[in-house]
Amino acid sequence: ALVSLRQVLDHAAENGYGVPAFNVNNLEQIHAIMEAAQETDSPVILQASAGARQYAGEPYLRHMVLAAAEMHPDIPIVLHQDHGATPAVCQQSIRSGFTSVMMDGSLREDAKTPADYDYNLRVTRLVCDFAHAVGVSVEGELGCLGSLETGEAGEEDGVGAEGKLDHSQLLTDPVQAKDFVERTGVDALAIAIGTSHGAYKFTRQPTGDILAIDRIAEIHAAIPDTHLVMHGSSSVPQEWLAIIRANGGDIAETYGVPVEEIIRGIKSGVRKVNIDTDIRLAMTGAMRQLFNEKRSEFDPRKALLAAKKAARGICKQRFEAFGCAGMA
């Protein structure tokens, strides 16, 4: 059944685990996540960006998720709007049946320019007003995602600030977080602690101090009833990079957030862990490998099945590592 984000994350908080929130755009990704959840008995957060809705078409996306709920009646599923750039986008999602929306007021409407605090407060409070009135959860964001190593927001074409960010923008302030939560009423808060979107997060193998894990605990202590969200949580698996490269792909040296660091984050209070890039990399690696090794193959289902299996493997590992397994 479709449930709210608040419902799933309250259970996660009571039981001390984290829930991966996987981005979905198509049938194979939804299959992969649901099969992994069924296999491990895990609750599910399916999140769709504005780009996903544009790619799939809003009714297709809605009906695919409803089909997932029908096929897996025992698995709680949150349908979440990822990075809503305006209150209007959030309102469209609610009309479309989403049970949770993110109002990302850390950036202006262009999803590129860092916004001032008053703007963020105003748009997030507005979304909380109309979403809560119909039982839909709200995620806000405070601080700007970006690498503490490079000051870059990451991803060029997606969500993220343009140009260099300064250190103070890259870390969410616990005192401001408390004020923000009191004045908006958000259910969940995305925080900046040194992660960034996309495949190019870190130029070196990250060690234990690459993320501001201590900051998570400080924010959690300030707003214990608000669920913390870690964006940019892909681990960028080196084994999938190797498969992509061995099969004609060209991806420069890069590193993601190690799963052990995410687990430290969950122990410090993170409840929702956003993952998109890892599924993209695994699916691309599997499809490249399939077509490279079977050069006469032209049934797309063969490649898509390999891609689904690869994505399912990522999902299963994350459900297990984050303590989700058995919690559905």
**Residue stretches of the annotated binding site for dihydroxyacetone phosphate:** 198, 232-234, 274-277
Helix (H) or strand (E) holding 291: helix 277-293
Nearer of residues 80 and 83 to ligand G3H, judged by Cβ: 83
CB of residue 211 to Zn ion, shortest distance in Å = 15
- Binding mask 253-292 toward ligand G3H (x if CB under 6 A, else -) reads -----------------------x----------------
Residue 49 within binding range of ligand G3H, rule CB under 6 A: yes
Nearer of residues 18 and 232 to ligand G3H, judged by Cβ: 232
Instruction: Report whether 172 contacts 216 (CB < 8 A).
Output: no
Smallest CA-to-CA distance from 187 within 3, 6, 4 is with 6
CA dihedral 142, 194, 20, 95 (to 10 degrees): 30
Question: Cα separation of 49 and 159, whole Å?
Answer: 10
Binding-site members are: 83, 104, 141, 197-198, 231-234, 274-277
Among 31, 197, 272, 308, binds ligand 13P (CB under 6 A): 197
Q: What are phi and psi of 227, to 5 degrees?
A: -80, 130
Question: Cα separation of 117 and 100, whole Å?
Answer: 23
Q: Which residue is nearest to Na ion (CB)?
A: 102
Q: Which of residues 218-247 bind Zn ion (CB under 5 A)?
A: 231
Given the DSSP bridges, would you call strands 44-48 and 270-275 parallel, antiparallel or unpaired? unpaired
Q: What is the DSSP string of 83-150?
A: EE-SHHHHHHHHHTT-SEEEE-TTB-TTSSSBPPHHHHHHHHHHHHHHHHTTT-EEEEEES----TTT
- In this structure, the number of other CB atoms found within 10 A of the CB of residue 326 comes to 12
Which entry of ligand 13P, Zn ion, ligand G3H, none binds 51, CB below 5 to 8 A by partner kind? Answer: ligand G3H
Q: Which of 10, 74, 82, 166 is catalytic?
A: 82
CB of residue 37 to ligand 13P, shortest distance in Å = 18
CB of residue 201 to ligand 13P, shortest distance in Å = 7
Q: Which one of the spans 49-57, 63-71, 91-99, 239-247 is the region binding ligand G3H (CB under 6 A)?
A: 49-57
Give percent helix, percent strand, percent coil of the chain, each to the nearest 5: 45, 15, 35
List of residues contacting ligand G3H (CB under 6 A): 23, 49, 51-52, 82-83, 158-159, 197, 276
List of residues contacting ligand 13P (CB under 6 A): 23, 82-83, 197-198, 231-234, 274-277
